[in-house]
Amino acid sequence: MAGRPLIWLPQTAGRSESEIFFDALALNGVDVRSGTDAERLLEPFGAELAKALEARRDDLARAGQALPGAAEALAAVAKLDDVVQTVLTGNSKPNAMLKLSAFGLDGFMDFDVGGYGSEAYPKGTRLRVARQRASEKYGVTFDERAAVYVADSARDVEAARVGGASSLAVASGRASAAELRDAGADAVLAELTDPAGLVAVITRLTEPPGSAAPGPA
């Protein structure tokens, strides 16, 4: 993309594709200040990355795996009334769709209203944008009480706080349950293998104050 050898590698965990890309440029001597050519490189980089991942789709399906209980969890939440499920991810939209489709999880998602790593602003802001997209598409107000961000890192807990959503943290990644609680998660689960428990937590987090009726998640 920039005509330079990739010598120094950026940190990638919990970061978006755009963050990783600009950090890689800066580490390898490319001027990333606003208004430079670096900004124009993001779109072609995303296209090349999607092309490379598509070429390895079979490797992904063969060597990767879905988390235990992921499909059952998504199916259980989909049965709740007035629910829209989407993704808030550091991946670009094409890569997110490819990864989920490789494991049969894409059918539960409305990708049109998601927030993606190719959008060059913080994840908390992308969460607000995703909620606005859902409100516009479905003609209802998905307010802060109606949104639950299910994720697995302390950075995601912080993104939920910034984006005005409840955070349901799952200790299936690098962060322990204790670390997720310390980060301020509204609820913590050890794993995704209890769909009924997951639904109960989402229902509790989205209940209007003083009401037992579940709201949208």
Express each pLDDT in 66-92 by its tens digit: 999 999 999 999 999 989 999 999 888
Task: Kindly list the domain boundaries of the chain, sorted by start residue.
Answer: 1-55, 66-206
**Domain 66-206, classified CATH 3.40.50.1000, yes or no:** yes
Task: pLDDT band for 217, please (50, 70, 90 cuts).
Answer: very low
Task: pLDDT band for 210, please (50, 70, 90 cuts).
Answer: low
pLDDT at 33 over 90: no
Express each pLDDT in 126-179 by its tens digit: 999 999 999 999 999 888 888 999 999 998 999 999 999 999 999 998 899 999
Whether the CB-CB separation of 32 and 21 falls below 8 Å is answered with no
CB atoms within 10 A of CB 126: 23
The average confidence (pLDDT) of the chain is 89
Nearest to 83 by CA among 193, 202, 188, 204: 202
Whether the CB-CB separation of 163 and 128 falls below 8 Å is answered with yes
Nearest to 106 by CA among 94, 95, 98, 114: 98
Give the predicted TM-score (pTM) of the model: 0.84
